[in-house]
Amino acid sequence: MSPTKISDARRAQEGFTLAALIVILTIISIIIAFTVPEQWSIVLKRERDRQTIFLMKQFARSIMTFEVRHSASPTSLQQLQDARQPRVIRGGGKWPCPLTGKVDDWILVPPTAVQQGQPGQPLPPPPPTTGSNPASNPSNPATNPQATAPPALGSTGTRLIPEASPKDYTGPFVAVRPNASGKSYVSFNGIEDYDQWVYTVQDLRTEIQQRQQALSQK
């Protein structure tokens, strides 16, 4: 075979290899275009959830500081923002809710909207109304198999009653919660519903005590 024919054959082989490489890269690009954005979106949503949890804990810390300084619970976010002597909330407290992107888009949680119990255990069913027969109470799972048992408490032992924490509530509050609903991408204290997320001043105190006990045992 002449050198010219050999050279032409090599060029044809190189051209075929380059074309095959382009096809493979195109296929990979198509796969990435359909998979990476979705995966990246989930990563961003999880990070957004973590930011929300972080800010809820910062609010709880600010409320606790306010209570120590003023011997009373705050009644509005503005009170926390105006508490400059000493400043009880970092950054002025004008934090947008990561779930909605709106400034001060937080719902105040009154003390009556929070129930405490043993972590992981359901709260007892509501008591029967006065004068009624407990056995005929339709909301009692013990007597009515079709009744829905109360949801188990989160890892902090705290349960939020959403209906007792309306969006337009004003008054003393022990926590804030995001103005959002639906399933979360990150579990917060064993809870995966945005409208049931809560982290109160009492949760913060309990967490501080647990850390102190853990340090004292070392």
Q: pLDDT by residue (tens digit) across 9-34? A: 455 455 557 667 777 877 777 676 66
Rounded CA-CA distance 87/70 in Å is: 12
In a domain, 141, yes or no: no
Mean pLDDT of the chain: 76
What is the arithmetic mean of pLDDT over 120-147? 49
Report the pLDDT value the prediction gives residue 148, as an integer from 0 to 100: 47
**β-strand partners of 159:** 115
Among 77, 99, 153, 144, smallest CA distance to 122 is for: 153
Angle at which helix 3-70 crosses helix 201-216, to 10 degrees, equals 100
What confidence category does residue 6 fall into, taking pLDDT thresholds of 50, 70 and 90?
A: very low
Q: Furthest-apart CA pair in the chain: how many Å?
A: 110
Q: Look at 105-119, 127-141, 152-166 and tell me which has the smallest mean pLDDT.
A: 127-141
Amino acid letter for position 181: S
Are 56 and 197 in contact by the 8 Å Cβ rule? The answer is: yes
What confidence category does residue 184 fall into, taking pLDDT thresholds of 50, 70 and 90?
A: very high
How does DSSP assign 181-192, residue by residue? Answer: -SEEEEEETTEE
What is the total count of domains within the chain? 1
In a domain, 176, yes or no: yes
What is the arithmetic mean of pLDDT over 152-162? 72
In a domain, 198, yes or no: yes
Q: pLDDT by residue (tens digit) across 167-182? A: 999 999 999 999 999 9
In a domain, 90, yes or no: yes
Report the pLDDT value the prediction gives residue 13, as an integer from 0 to 100: 54
In a domain, 130, yes or no: no
Q: pLDDT by residue (tens digit) across 75-111? A: 998 888 887 655 556 555 678 889 988 888 899 999 9
In a domain, 145, yes or no: no
Rounded CA-CA distance 152/157 in Å is: 9
In a domain, 132, yes or no: no
In this predicted structure, the answer to whether residue 164 has a pLDDT above a threshold of 70 is: yes
Provide the domain limits for residue 22: 3-119+154-216
In this predicted structure, the answer to whether residue 54 has a pLDDT above a threshold of 60 is: yes
Q: What angle do CA 59, 61, 66 make, to 5 degrees?
A: 90
Kindly give the pairing relationship between strand 191-193 and strand 183-188: antiparallel
Question: Does 25 or 62 have the greater pLDDT score?
Answer: 62
What is the arithmetic mean of pLDDT over 189-206? 92
